[in-house]
Amino acid sequence: MADGKIEVLLSGPPKPTIVNGLAPFLVHRLADAKDRDAFLKEIGPRVRAIASSVTSDAIGAGLMSKLPKLEIVSTFGVGYDHVDVAWAAEHGVTVTNTPRVLTEEVADTALGLILCTVREFPQAERFLRAGKWVGRGYPLTKATLRDRTVGMVGMGAIGQAIARRLEAMKVPVVYHSRRPAAGAACRHYPKLLDMARDVDIIVVITPGGPETKDLINADVLKALGPNGILINMARGSVVDEPALIQALKDKTILSAGLDVYVREPDVPAELIAMENVVLFPHLGSASVYTRTQMDQLVVDNLNAWAAGKGPLTPVPETPWPPRRSS
């Protein structure tokens, strides 16, 4: 503790809300370290908390094990597959994320991506800008929401917010998840393949990580069928990307709308070359309003922990108070 302040390691860019909010702490910025190993060797023994301002920088066992006094990792984002939670749980380190404050924003984006993909709005806009409207109208779209059922993969808070929007638009919704979700009134499919056969659009909104890796594979896409549309709002890892590219090329499915990719920000050139896909640059929660609330929750979690009240939103794998095995 320098000057009585708790020392915090900041991973990711120094966003103003986070930097200002962490004023009560002594903050060390990982991004500024010229020699990362030497930097961690020097400050590591004093660091008690990590603040992570992005989901794109991994917080792995290698980093956390260099911080023997680490008690908490407060990360930005509802998804926390970039944090090795199994290691954290085993070592009594609490991980917090930023749920709820982004739910409605991500659901809005999902609805936008669904509509853009089904009705080809970005393609039609490109058509107008290219001066092609003069000769003829944009072709009628093959797809419509009017005769489709949506199958959600994942029915957590964001899944339910998407389902509410679709139901308000009179679109029938069903879902697949390992267990039926509390509070979801629509039909639950225990088997993903069964649901894929019955629906016309799959919307993926389930956590990333090893348990869901390549969940949407060639078999699921085949079951979705030639009129089918895949929407991915979750993590690139949930979809077998080469299988998706193949399915789009072969017309095994009709089209896809993607907000996330396996190696962001690298998007496969094959996808970029396709007209039957709509590609968003991971926009889910990307408004100033919502991102500020997410940044603030990163700070609030650390302040609540430092005040001895316990963090506000620990993830289920690392409940508060922590169970230290050593």
Please identify every residue annotated as catalytic: 235, 264, 282
Region near ligand 8YV per CB under 6 A, out of 73-81, 178-186, 272-280, 314-322: 73-81
Smallest CA-to-CA distance from 239 within 248, 249, 230 is with 230
Footprint of ligand 8YV on residues 225-264 (CB under 6 A)? none
Give the Cβ contact number of residue 39 at 10 Å. Answer: 17
Residues 12, 21, 77, 228: which binds ligand 8YV (CB under 6 A)? 77
Residues in 98-137 that interact with ligand 8YV by CB under 6 A? 102
CB of 214 to ligand 8YV, least distance (A): 19
Q: Should residue 79 be labelled a site residue for ligand 8YV when binding is judged by CB under 6 A? A: yes
- Dihedral class, residue 310 (left if φ above 0, else alpha if ψ from -120 to 50, else beta): left
Q: Contacts with ligand 8YV: how many residues (CB under 6 A)?
A: 11
DSSP 59-106: B-HHHHTT-TT--EEEESSS--TTB-HHHHHHTT-EEE---STTHHHH
Closest approach of Cβ 94 to ligand 8YV, in Å? 18
Which residue is at the shortest CB distance from ligand 8YV?
79
Note every long-range contact of 248-254, with CB atoms under 8 Å and residues 24 or more positions apart, other chains counting. Answer: 248/274, 248/276, 248/277, 249/274, 251/226, 252/218, 252/221, 252/222, 252/225, 252/226, 253/221, 253/224, 253/225, 253/226, 253/228, 253/229, 254/142, 254/143, 254/226, 254/227, 254/228, 254/229
Q: How far is the CB of 291 from ligand 8YV (least distance, A)?
A: 7
Question: Checking DSSP bridges between strand 26-29 and strand 7-11, what pairing results, if any?
Answer: parallel
In angstroms, what is the minimal distance from the CB of 290 to ligand 8YV?
A: 8
| Residue selected from 284, 311, 314, 322 as contacting ligand 8YV according to rule CB under 6 A | 284
Residues 6+ apart with CB under 8 A from 299: 17, 18, 21, 22, 51, 74
Q: Which stretch binds ligand 8YV (CB under 6 A): 39-47, 72-80, 158-166, 298-306?
A: 72-80
Nearer to ligand 8YV, 105 or 120 (CB): 105
Which residues inside 286-305 make contact with ligand 8YV, applying CB under 6 A? 286
**Could you say which of 11, 52, 160, 285 contacts ligand 8YV (CB under 6 A)?**
285
Site string for ligand 8YV, 86-105 (x = CB under 6 A): ----------------x---
- Please, which residue, 56 or 65, has the CB nearer to ligand 8YV? 56
For the segment 29-68, give every residue that binds ligand 8YV (CB under 6 A): 54-56
Contact 243, 222 (CB under 8 A): no
User: Scanning the structure block, which residue is given the tokens 């093959």?
Assistant: 142
Give the span between the Cα atoms of 220 and 218, in whole angstroms: 6
Place of tokens 């794109």: 56
* Exposure of 30 in the CB half-sphere (CA atoms within 13 A): 24
CB 81 to ligand 8YV: min, Å: 8
Q: How far is the CB of 19 from ligand 8YV (least distance, A)?
A: 18
Alpha-carbon distance of 280 to 182, in angstroms, equals: 30
Nearer to ligand 8YV, 28 or 282 (CB): 282
Q: In terms of CB distance, is 122 or 207 closer to ligand 8YV?
A: 207
Residue numbers of the site for ligand 8YV (CB under 6 A)? Answer: 54-56, 77-79, 102, 282, 284-286
